[in-house]
Amino acid sequence: MDHRLTPEHEELRRTVEEFAHDVVAPKIGEFYEHHEFPYEIVREMGRMGLFGLPFPEEYGGMGGDYLALGIALEELARVDSSVAITLEAGVSLGAMPVHRFGTEEQKRTWLPRLCSGEILGAFGLTEPECGSDAGGTRTTARLDEATGEWVINGTKCFITNSGTEITGLVTVTAVTGRTEDGKPLISSIIVPSGTPGFTVAPPYSKVGWNASDTRELSFSDVRVPAANLLGEQGRGYAQFLRILDEGRIAISALATGLAQGCVDESLAYARTRRAFGRPIGTNQAIQFKIADMEMRAHTARLAWRDAASRLVHGEPFKKEAALAKLYSSEIAVDNARDATQIHGGYGFMNEYPVARMWRDAKILEIGEGTSEVQRMLIARELGLAG
């Protein structure tokens, strides 16, 4: 399978690469250090059309595909992961559920503003007592027949893009009924920001991704119209499984970008840092370490592009997405560790990008499904029931 980029995709890659180096790189360190959301950078990403990359033009999108999204995420993450995860969550978790499962009215109401970056969307799935066990959702939503409204109660945690000044909606998964044998029926419901009873907590104090927005959300008798149901009632579990399958490709692209960024920074440092009278890049130990880092990043790129290509062509991609996410997230941690080691004491200083990369890498093995969950999915796709 040929994973070389088309001229259009290569032009996109170069455009985002230039934006990342000329706009993001000079400014993001200060945002990161002060735990501030980079509104100016995000607005520029919106003007570039990045939030609309995989969506049809009729809804304000760029008419591209998931490969285009992955290319943009990889190039952004080579410089900074906070900006990259803002785009990833805004597209694959915020807007994609509306695109995949929304009614025509919901699409025309929300997608143009989401595609332009005027507003951000969030995906309220994870809860304090059920992380990987998303089927154990405790948030509830009951339909008040008298008013024609959903009444939502519960708590969500670790939700990206949920509390910014431009957050427009959160799609919430909630139990809306039970099967005859007592199993929960989970549905997805759109909750606009500012709805009474919808409370957004202060930002988390995080190890990494410090220039991105992550919060806990609470819902106390939150009422939204019955028409805010996204897709079929009781199909929310299947919906978010599809969204997570796609999202793993996006996270893999982001992780690949971080891994490649570690190579970029290590190469530049090895060529200029002198020890014992010569550049440290002339030492075979450093050369081999960087060669291994490049090998990992290259392989991860092939993996996520293969999964994206299968998605774009309508082929099964669940296993390939899990493989790509598992491998790329783990090698991102490896490359971040090695890049820090190459930089020595300077790698522990926040003024160097590799310090951010080291802090940002670990969450990639957790978010969008832990490494353990990916191995479980791969085993199931191989026919190993358990």
Q: Which of 137 and 334 is assigned the larger pLDDT?
A: 334
**Residue 101: its H or E element:** helix 96-101
Domain stops at, among 103, 120, 137: 120
Q: Which amino acid is at 369?
A: G
Q: How far apart are CA 142 and CA 119, in angstroms?
A: 28
111 and 130 in a single domain? The answer is no
Per-residue pLDDT at 345 exceeds 80: yes
Residue whose tokens read 């075979």: 284
The answer to whether residue 173 is domain-embedded is yes
State the pLDDT confidence band at 129, using cuts at 50, 70 and 90. confident
The answer to whether residue 221 is domain-embedded is yes
Q: Report pLDDT digits (tens) over 274-308.
A: 999 999 999 999 999 999 999 999 999 999 999 99
State the pLDDT confidence band at 310, using cuts at 50, 70 and 90. very high
Domain range enclosing 256: 238-381
Per-residue pLDDT at 311 exceeds 70: yes
Domain stops at, among 212, 232, 252: 232
Q: How far apart are CA 331 and CA 329, in angstroms?
A: 6
Angle between helices 66-77 and 284-312 (to 10 degrees): 160
pLDDT of residue 130: 79
309 and 342 in a single domain? The answer is yes
The answer to whether 324 touches 307, Cβ cutoff 8 Å, is: yes
User: Mean pLDDT for the chain?
Assistant: 96
| Cα–Cα–Cα angle for 259, 359, 379, rounded to 5 degrees | 60
pLDDT of residue 182: 85
Q: Report pLDDT digits (tens) over 38-66.
A: 999 999 999 999 999 999 999 999 999 99
The answer to whether residue 386 is domain-embedded is no
Domains of the chain: total: 3
**Residue 188: its H or E element:** strand 184-192
Q: Is 232 a catalytic residue?
A: no
Q: Which of 88, 246, 365, 368 is catalytic?
A: 368
Q: Report pLDDT digits (tens) over 366-386.
A: 998 999 999 999 999 999 976
100 and 130 in a single domain? The answer is no
Q: Report pLDDT digits (tens) over 158-185.
A: 999 999 999 999 999 999 999 888 899 9
Length of the chain: 386
243-269 average pLDDT score: 97
